[in-house]
Amino acid sequence: ISSWWNFGSLLGICLILQILTGLFLAMHYTSDTTTAFSSVTHICRDVNYGWVIRYLHANGASMFFICLFIHVGRGLYYGSYMFLETWNIGVVLLFTVMATAFMGYVLPWGQMSFWGATVI
């Protein structure tokens, strides 16, 4: 066992961070096309530590995907694909994460993000 085995735990921490910060951001965000930008500035300026929550959520997503790809890379390096059932569950989870990221970044009406599309 090496330090590469820590990324599964880091994935869990990143996921919990994403869920919590996403819930806190959703409490103040409005998805209406005319007030979406105003709600983001409201979060950053008027909500206590709103800017921290926003940046944790944005950078936590990048950290989540970095940990995810390192976790998969570690599995490839150590031959974990030989455990077919476990590996197939991981592949399904990877596709589910990608689909969730696509739904969250690219598809919302009025918030079409070409940056999100290129990242994904």
* Enclosing domain of residue 84: 3-119
**Collapsed DSSP state (helix, strand, coil) of residue 79:** coil
Rounded Cα distance, 24 and 28, in Å: 7
Place of tokens 């009406």: 109
Q: 120 pLDDT exceeds 70?
A: no
Give the global pTM. 0.78
Q: How far is CA 76 from CA 60, 82, 87, 96, in A?
A: 24, 9, 10, 19
Q: Say if residues 40 and 54 touch (Cβ distance below 8 Å).
A: yes
- Which amino acid appears at position 13 of this protein? I
How many CA atoms, within 13 angstroms, populate the side-chain half-sphere of residue 46?
Answer: 8
Over the chain, what is the mean pLDDT? Answer: 85
pLDDT digits (tens, 9 = 90+) for 65-106: 999 999 999 999 999 999 999 999 999 999 999 888 877 776
| Number of domains making up the chain | 1
Chain centre distance of CA 86: 22
Nearest-10 crossing angle of helices 7-26, 50-77: 150
How far is Cα 67 from Cα 55, in angstroms, rounded to an integer?
18
Residue 93 sits in a domain of what CATH number? 1.20.810.10
